[in-house]
Structure 1
Amino acid sequence: MATHRPQDTGFSPESAFQFTLDVLDAAEDLTAQRRPATPKTLTPLLRARAPGRRPTLPQLQAALTQMTRWREPILTRELLAHRRPLLTLRARTEAELNRWANIAYLTVRVREIDCPAAPELAFPGRHGVRGAIRPNRRPVPRDVNEKDEGYPASKTRYN
């Protein structure tokens, strides 16, 4: 009992390595089928590939742990490789959004300057040109006896 190691899977290092490769192949097959790679789902696949072998739960867990150790650096490297292009794309997108916001602002300012005498032409409302809400104008209450001159149905007109 002095030589017993609790993490010992019962395989020689070469057999353990080959078994881990078999588990990796079986896990990839399960992933392709959109099924989780658990000891319960791996056991039938491994038995079908090697009929004489009956893997135990500690052997499967050790193989899955090793497989995870192999994948972690690869995933980290892939994530870091994708991070830089994503940051570049985000910066470009933000710059483009700022550019479009500037264009919209400048377009509004140019329209205001181009039509100082008739601002309703620059900003037509949903009621047409005469019913437009003009910028920099205060609403004036409409007189009830005043004739309707094509203003919106509200009781307000703009000077």
Structure 2
Amino acid sequence: MMSSSSRSTRRRRQVTRDASPWASLHGELLELDLIAWRVLAVDLRDYVRLRAVCAHWRASTTCPSGRGIVEGRFHPRHWTMLPEGHGLHPGHRKLRDFVRFFSLSTGAFVRVHLPLFRDHCALDSIDGILLLQRDHDTAARLLNPLTGDIVDFPHL
């Protein structure tokens, strides 16, 4: 049987471990919104990481999901989709719906799960946004590969 003092000590350790020291920074001192926009100007991936620091930072910054096509500041401007080589193309079953992207500004690689490539092909990439065409009906759509946002064009 565990004593109440050891339970409360364990609970205090858990609270201390879970609390982020970043969340305790004063909002005005931090000017999180200004910092967030400067980070976003460099790279969308770093902006997503900034939002992941703690719940307070996530709540204090704009979520890119749902805005990834319409708002240009959430475009993955410095990212390009890489060919896989060895005869593998995006959508090949051996890739298990993953596509690799490369950051031209930081040199980072990211594997993104994009099941759309099972029945779509990429026609072009503008400002990091992919122009896709669906195989069975040739419908066109735009995709932000880092936020997952999609906009369908009207059928012709």
Give the TM-score normalised by the residue count of structure 1.
0.25
Is the radius of gyration larger for structure 1 or structure 2?
A: 1
- The structure carrying a bigger helix percent of its residues is 1
Q: Which has the higher contact order (CA 8 A, sep 6+)?
A: 2
TM-score for both structures, normalised by structure 2: 0.26
Higher strand share: 2
